[in-house]
Structures are given as C-alpha cells and as structure tokens.
Amino acid sequence: MLHVLDTTALFNAKDFPVDFEIIVPQGVLDELMAWGLNDRVRLLVGVRIFVEAPGKDSVEKVKQFAEKTGDIDRLSPTDIDVIALALEKSVPLISDDYSIGNTAKILGLKCIPMETRGIKKIYYWKYVCRGCGKEYDRDMGECIICGKELLPKRYKSEDI
C-alpha cells in the first residue's frame, strides 16, 4: 500500500504495517537530515522509503490550486513536492499540516492525519494589513501603503 508522507509524518512515525510503502520527494529526506536524523534516514531509504521527484506539470498544478486557496505562501517547496507526488501517483498522503491538507483536499486527494483530527473544511485565505486594513491575495510581507505587517485571514470556507 503506497503513501506519500511529509517530513513531520516521518519524523513522528513510530512504525507502519509491513505492506506500507512510503514515497517521498528528496526535500523530505533533506529536512530530516537537517534535524539530525541521518542514521534513521539511511536505514529506511531503499527499504521502507523510496525517493522520487514529482514532474513539473504536477508541481505547477499544485501551485495553481494553492494560489486559489491562498495557501501558496504557507507551503514550502518540499510541501508542494509532497502534494505533487501524491497527485501524480494518485495515492493518499499523510500529513498534519493544515495547508498541505487544505491544498490536497481541493485537488481531490485523500489526506490522512497522524496526530490531529485532520481538516474538516477547506479554507481560503487573504492577507490583511494590521495597520490600514488593506487586503491582499498574497503574503507580500508588509503593506505597500503603510508598511505594516500582513496577517492571514480566512475569508471563505467549504465543507468537505
């Protein structure tokens, strides 16, 4: 049974059933090794974990849908690759990251949580200036009018 896992799912993983195959993009392994899990990663790669890069078309589709929900600025390149790989393989992904789950759900993917209850709604985000209240579709970092910080704001939700 093939599943795509994000970094925190692998970091927090205890054990998976024998028939459980894990596929990840290289970025997941890089993040695990940055956390000092080199030995654990080396033991699992090629035995329980297989590394594959998603295609450019899948990555672009994920970015396009993440733009629609406003999650694009909340997803790392590795997060995007995780979703794109699950999309390409048509398999579930395992993640507790809300932005990963949100984008996966809008793409019609199954997203299985490990430590949380999972998402119950798809949220759409805008960014609002904490100073003047101007709204932006993307996180620009700071308001172009007054220079204050932008804060994420849910402006719409859909039941799933």
CATH no. for residue 35?
A: 3.40.50.1010
- pTM assigned to the model: 0.86
Can you give the residue range of the structural domain that contains 155?
A: 121-159
Provide DSSP, 90-123. Answer: T--EE---HHHHHHHHHTT--EE-SSS---SEEE
* Lowest mean pLDDT, pick from 61-70, 116-125, 128-137, 139-148: 116-125
Mean pLDDT along residues 131-136:
95
Tell whether 57 and 108 lie within a shared domain. yes
- Tens digits of residue pLDDT in 146-155: 999 999 998 8
Tell whether 6 and 85 lie within a shared domain. yes
Structural tokens at position 93: 């992904």
- Tens digits of residue pLDDT in 66-90: 999 999 999 999 999 999 999 999 9
- For residues 8 and 39, which has the higher predicted lDDT (pLDDT)? 8
